[in-house]
Amino acid sequence: MNLRDLKYLVALADHRHFGKAAAACFVSQPTLSTQIRKLEDELGLPLVERAPRKVMLTPAGVEAAARARTIVAEVEQMKEAARRSRDPEAGTVRLGIFPTLGPYLLPHVIPNIRERFPQLELLLVEEKSDELLTRLREGKLDAALLALPLDDDQLHAEFLFEEPFLLAVSQQHPLARRQHLDVQELSSQKLLLLEDGHCLRDQALAVCRLFGANEKSEFRATSLETLRQMVAADVGITLLPTLSVKPPVPRSDNIRLLDFSGDDRPSRRIAMAWRRSSAMTGFLEQLAQQFKRLPQGLLALESTDVPGATATPLQRAG
C-alpha cells in the first residue's frame, strides 16, 4: 500500500467515476483501475461496486476512503510544515471565500497582501459556506473566510471585522425619504432574499426573525447583484452588506441606502478559519492580520455612497 494508491481511492470516492478520477489524478483509466484492484487484493475485500455507468463504494470502501483522505491530508500537512520552516512567507495558500463577500472585500486587501508577502501564491476558491467548510475539514483548503458563529471544535476562527447591513430601497419607495431607520421598523417590511444555500440568506433570515420582518417569498435571487437590480427596479427591498455598496462596485442611482440607528444595528461577523491541527497556523495568523487592516471608513456609510443624500458615518467596527 502506498500514498499514490490512497490518492486514487480518494479521487474515486470524490468523482464516483473511473474516467473522471483518473483524469483528476493525471493517469490513465486502466492504471487507476488496476491500482484500485491491487488495493482491494491487499486489504482482502472489495472497496468498489462496479456498474456500467456508475461507481459506488462498498461500506468498507467508504471507511477506507475516509481514512485514506485523512492520511493524504496529514502527509500534505507534513510537506507543508517542512516547506514553511524553510520559507514561511512563500509558497501556496488555498483560501476559500463565499460569494457575497469575496468580490467586495478582496480588492481592498489583496494589494496589501501582495506587498507584505511578495512570494506568496494565493489561490482563491469562491464557494458557498457549506462547501467551504467541507473542503476545509477535508484538507482541500488551508483556510476560509466565513461568517460567525462556527460550531466546530476542530477549527480555529480568528475574528476579522464586523460588517453592518444597510437597507436598500428604490428611490420610489416610501422609505427613500428617510435618513435613518430604527431596526424595529423592519417588523412591517417584507424583504427580498437570496435562494437557499447562501449564508447571506441565513444571516438576513436571522435579522428577520429577530425584528419581526418577513420574506417576500414569491421571489428569491440567485446572486447579490440580482438582488440589487430587483431593488433598483422597485420590486422590493433588501439588506445589503456594507462592503457590497463600496467602490469599485458601481453605484446605482435608483437605490437609496438606509443606515440603522440605535445599538442593535444588524451586522455579520467575519472570521478566518483554519484547522487547529494545521502546520500553517503561524503564517495564517499573520495573513489574518492583513485582512484586519481595512481602509479607514470602509465599513461606514458615507454621504458619497448615497445618491443625492447625506448620511452620518457608521462607527467603524472590528
- Give the mean pLDDT per block of 10 residues along the chain (318 residues): 92 90 92 93 92 84 92 82 70 92 95 93 94 90 94 94 94 88 86 88 87 83 90 92 91 89 88 91 94 90 57 38
pTM: 0.74
Largest CA distance in the chain: 74
CB of 287 within 8 A of CB of 142?
no
CA distance 208 to 226: 20
CA distance 168 to 227: 10
CB of 192 within 8 A of CB of 230?
yes
Kindly provide the b/e burial profile for residues 136-171, where b requires at least 16 CB atoms within 10 angstroms of the residue's own CB.
Answer: bebbbbbbbbbbeebeeeebbbbebbbbbbbbbbbe
pLDDT recorded at residue 304 = 57
pLDDT recorded at residue 315 = 37
What is the β-pairing status of strands 214-221 and 55-57?
unpaired
